[in-house]
Structure 1
């Protein structure tokens, strides 16, 4: 029988300590996924999420956002009730959630409808939801990109500085609102009973609604993950085409750079994925021709 790797074993130790602290039994917890966060399934329909070090504030906000969405009758993942959370174990946040019913990725149409509903809500008054930071954690991912050489990392830092300057000069767009922060079909759970449930709420904040809309435009025009017809359906359902806005290219470039930085992080943890970050950097530098680019999914 294979032994769990060090990352899983460390996350499991954190989960055990946190669960016992709040009165939950971690015995029998099964690993679901180990990527940006480590997810476990506990008996009784509980999903536990162990974050990386330094994400306590984000985890607390995610729990608060989920409870706020539930009050406002927006379908979203629900925290496990009657548990004080997040728990902090050695700088790692642990949260517990209700397990979802059988589901699959959502559709582009469901993303549009969910965003329209979210963007129409007034910002919560009972807690500080924070402001959108499209550059969150990028410097750390660049610093830890161990499969890249110094010149690549220097280029990434320079490109990040350029994107920050462009972001500061964005033209006026739609009124600011509560945004999801990482809106794509993978963060919508389409349940077998017909619901579309919002997931991954840790980046919810107040900011430009165009940031949420850009994710689907990037999926259509950067990586050809959806068709032009599907994108038009998205635009009709939401009621706005972000690609017609003068600031779109800036947000597109930031989103693409985030995708490259995620690939760099994945490669640092699994060097067999190094070719993907090499490809993405070549595309961003203009060495692989115009979009769409043949980027492969990374966790």
Structure 2
């Protein structure tokens, strides 16, 4: 494991491209670390082993720009990620002042994205189960029966996903992690960002997060969800494959909460409440899940 501090990694990456790191301001520290540099530059330091994903993020952002779709924009130099001790570091233009997107705004952005022709550069097929086995195995607050149950549920949903016969349906470019936090709305435009999970897949996958926010979390009012469906032009819950996609998304959100509970015990109760809901211990949806701060 790399024991270097985030600031040291930033300084080394900046030095590699002859850019000063003095005066850097930490924006967010998580799976990826974001820094703001003087001159309206944002630096994204990724996780170890994620260099290919960083190459994809740059390619997708430039592809969107060529199609006139507002998106976070990488600097021209360096043109590719800088690798520092196995971690990819990328440099981006800072967005203007903005707020997270509303569901209706996210729907409009997704409608535009899903209508674009796939790029020439290859994109992988969507893997909705990426990193889930590691999150289940690494969740320290789970006991052995809980871990076994999650692995069994994961196997069950893998089978259900493959039985959807998705190869027979036209695949589109999907964002892969389409939620309000990945749409930045400024005065001039609504900007898509975070293309780590962008892939070729069923466009319904990008709609499921909002649907789950309404039907599973109970956090999105019915009127807001109806506006989302109208803006996109479809209601994903009417698609026969929705129950499978929703169940996968619920599992992902539960495993993410379990991962966060390891780092912050404040999240332990919510993580295990979500797990209990999946196991049928709290009745039908909506379950009243709360977002992790």
TM-score by length of 1: 0.93
Q: Does 1:220 align with 2:239?
A: no
Pick the aligned partner of 2:65 from 59, 62, 70: 70
Output the CA distance in 1 between the equivalents of 2:270 and 2:5.
27
Please give the secondary structure, in 1, of the residue aligned with 2:140: coil
Does 2:99 match 1:104?
A: yes
1:62 Cα deviation (Å)? 0.5
SS at match of 2:43: strand
Report how far residue 10 of structure 1 moved: 2.1
**CA RMSD of superposed structures (Å):** 1.8
User: 1:82-93 counterparts in 2 under 5 A?
Assistant: 82-93=77-88
User: Which of the numbers 280, 288, 293 marks the counterpart of 1:294?
Assistant: 288
Deviating above 6 A after TM superposition, structure 1's stretches of 4 or more consecutive aligned residues are none
Match of 1:190 among 185, 189, 194: 185
TM-score norm. by structure 2 comes to 0.95
Task: Give the length in aligned residue pairs.
Answer: 292
Structure 1 gap segments, 5+ residues each:
1-6
Matches within 5 A, 1:1-299: 10-125=5-120, 127-170=121-164, 175-191=170-186, 193-298=187-292
Distance between the aligned counterparts of 1:34 and 1:297, measured in 2? Answer: 18
What is the rounded CA distance, in whole Å, between the counterparts of 1:171 and 1:89 in structure 2? 41
Quote the Cα distance in structure 2 between the aligned partners of 1:174 and 1:250.
16
Instruction: Return the alpha-carbon distance in structure 2 between the equivalents of residues 38 and 122 of structure 1.
Output: 31
TM-aligned CA deviation for residue 294 of structure 1? 2.1
Task: Name the CA distance, whole Å, in 2 between partners of 1:151 and 1:272.
Answer: 23
> 1:101-120, CA deviations, whole angstroms, 9 ceiling, x for partnerless residues?
11111111111110110000
Cα distance, 1:124 vs structure 2: 0.5
Is the partner of 1:52 in helix, strand or coil?
coil
Deviation of 1:271 (Å): 2.6
